[in-house]
Amino acid sequence: MNNDRSFLLKNLDCPNCAAKIEKKVSAIDGVKTASVIFVSKKLILSTDGTVEQSKIISEIEKTVKSVEPDIDFVETGKERKEDEKTEKGLSGELVRLILAATVFAVGVISAFLNMPKSALIIIFAACLVISGKDVFLKAVRNITTGQVFDENLLMTIAAIGAFAIGQFEESAAVLIFYQVGEFFQNLATDNSKKSISDLMNLRPDYANLKTDSGILKVSPADVTIGDVIEILPGERMPLDGVVLEGHSLVDTSGLTGEPTPREISQGDSVTGGFVNGDGLLTVKVEKDYGESTVAKIINLVENAGSKKAKAENFITKFARIYTPTVTGAALLIAVLPPILFAQPFSTWLYRAIIFLVVSCPCALVVSVPLGFFAGIGAASHNGILVKGGNFLEKLASVDTVVFDKTGTLTKGVFEVVDTVCAEGITSKELIETAALAQIMSNHPIAKSIIKAAGGESDRERVKDFSEIAGMGVIAVTDAGAIAAGNDKLMARENISYEKCPKEGTVVYVARDGKYLGCIIISDIIKSGAKKAIESIKSLGVKRTVMLTGDRESAAKAVAQAVGIDDVRAELMPDEKVSEFEKAVSGTHIAAYVGDGINDAPVLARADIGIAMGGIGSDAAVEAADIVIMDDDPSRLSTAIRISSYVRMIVRQNIAFALIVKFAVLILDTMGIVNIWAAVFADTGVALLAVLNSLRILIRRDKFKS
């Protein structure tokens, strides 16, 4: 039994604390996995069902409080209220910083006017209390609870040490600039969070349920499959269903990123999250709210941060070791030169203080997860749902992409284009016979034959029906036993037939063991398929492969038209995984793009599974790591561009932070730099890294092909 739960961690403002909470909660009995997403301030849990949920939550709360007493749980789903509280908190922080800066300015002016040292001590001490009270209290509280090494301790030692050796201005400046940096980091992080939580606006507030007593406004969760709802002009569709009455243009941009409204009329499927245009629509509900597209999207986006990229996990582990290491190194810098070489203690204490300020890991701990968080947001904006930062990171290294054909590179909309009839059989008779056999099938090929026959036949004429996976159908009818399918079906039934001489998807038809002819069906290639293949190759994909159960000649025709390198055709559903493994043998990272139920095993097997979500099956979407909401293959190149850009930004942040920090540390040991350089190497670098990460969101409209 699996139980997944998530909580907002109100007042979580320390990335180091987030890492500690994650580690400690993961060790609690009954917790299968735990992930703390600092950027979104969320704790995501998976429990194994062996321990009562209430006991687990109680233990988690104790654990969280032991790390950071100010953190409280906030129920998931109250994001907007939490955002309002965050804004109020940031406003209060800004007022405090302005007050501290004012006192600091008074102190600087007083020093310039040669005020007595006692007056300067009072002024700068007041500045320290105003700007650093929270930092001091957290450092002390963490020490008492055994959580010694974090940035609060580093800043506390640096500020108090500088004050003790008479560097009053620099002591106050360390804390002010540290807090200014923290303020802007929080502001930037909250803005990035809001840009992603815009997707949460897809969450429907109500549904207009049609009842015998009239229209009732109810929660979408209270609507069941088969109920009929109305969507008024301008309303958001609450659930997935099919239109019974009405005609309208609907805005799908919130889910698919498509700017052009889609025309909807009777018989069309609609998805929760679409916004109705100017027409009244009556819709029959086909999925419960929990299984609806919009509910799944919201869940995916909310929990995407729980699957962390390698870079994020590395930085988290790095910070755990890094902070106590640099604290020890600073202690050695402060005491060894005076003891071993009779150097002035104040000089080396000052250098140790600079060392501590420079060494704060915030630039890395905040900016790296923020980069992936922003990347997931940019992808969502473009109609691409990425289920975790690890998949986004991996996508940039893909060198082989394997495609399904029908519904992925083609529209899955089939048309009968020709027939080849046996002697004495007319084209009309051939198509009508095949349509009668296919009447019980929901396969797109069957529907195209039924359409060509002029509509559905009488189902009562079919006495027995069986569908053979990867081959076709056999139906016992009042007209005889009809077999309609590919050449494998003919061979299975020992029916002598003539190989079809024409290209396309071929359906062979036989009645009572006698071959009647074949029907040639064409699947329409998606307009952007060729460009999509060209685009991903220009982005570094070295090889493309297509797997399909379709006839080899038809598959090769599609592959040639769109530019696929290799084709594996006439595959049974259970052969796809083994053929995928053969096709990607020796490659670095392979992605699979598919949409059907039979694609789910391959999607799960691939390094990265990418599902076409618009017409894709629920099984495919569940198994995939990335979902393309509008079925447009060109979105794949968009996703790769975003992934590559995120990887570049993350690498820039890591390299920039480490180079600047190590450079200042070396210069510090040589006595060349002062504490102002240390402030830049800490606060300045952290702020620049955060702003660099936000470039991903700023560019979110520029990743399209």
Q: Which residues are catalytic?
A: 404
Q: How far separated are the first and last CA of the chain, in Å rounded?
A: 43
Map tokens 């009447």 to a residue: 439
Strand partners, 37: 42
> How many whole angstroms from its chain centre is CA 317?
23
Question: Are the beta carbons of 30 and 56 closer than 8 angstroms?
Answer: yes
Question: Are the beta carbons of 541 and 643 closer than 8 angstroms?
Answer: no
Question: Are the beta carbons of 57 and 76 closer than 8 angstroms?
Answer: no
d(CA 611, CA 404): 10
Strand partners, 403: 546, 593
Map tokens 């490659």 to a residue: 587
Question: Are the beta carbons of 628 and 384 closer than 8 angstroms?
Answer: yes
C-alpha to C-alpha distances, 293 to 151, 237, 623, nearest whole angstrom: 42, 11, 15
> How many whole angstroms from its chain centre is CA 446?
36
Residue 620 parent element (H or E): helix 618-623
d(CA 200, CA 348): 53
The 3-state DSSP class for residue 228 equals strand
Quickly count: other Cβ atoms within 10 Å of residue 52's Cβ: 11
Q: Which two tokens stand for residue 272?
A: 């929760």
d(CA 665, CA 177): 19
The one-letter code for the residue type at 412 is G
> How many whole angstroms from its chain centre is CA 558?
31
The 3-state DSSP class for residue 589 equals coil
Which among 60, 69, 87, 72 is positioned nearest to 10, based on CA atoms? 72
Strand partners, 335: none
Question: Are the beta carbons of 93 and 132 closer than 8 angstroms?
Answer: no
d(CA 475, CA 429): 16
Query: In degrees to the nearest 10, what's the CA dihedral of 367, 369, 374, 377?
Result: -170
Which among 236, 214, 211, 216 is positioned nearest to 226, based on CA atoms? 211
Quickly count: other Cβ atoms within 10 Å of residue 84's Cβ: 11
d(CA 470, CA 331): 71
Query: Contacts by 142-151 with C-beta closer than 8 Å and gap 24+?
Result: 145/66, 145/67, 147/17, 147/20, 147/66, 147/67, 148/324, 149/323, 149/324, 149/327, 150/14, 150/16, 150/17, 150/323, 151/14, 151/16, 151/323, 151/360, 151/361, 151/362
d(CA 458, CA 447): 14
CB proximity list for 454: less than 8 A, separation 6 or greater: none
- Greatest CA span in the chain, whole angstroms? 117
Rg (the chain; Cα; Å) = 32
d(CA 22, CA 305): 13
Give the start-end residues of each E strand in 496-652. 505-511, 514-525, 543-547, 566-568, 590-594, 608-612, 626-628
Map tokens 């982005």 to a residue: 539
Which among 65, 70, 57, 15 is positioned nearest to 37, based on CA atoms? 15
Question: Are the beta carbons of 305 and 76 closer than 8 angstroms?
Answer: no
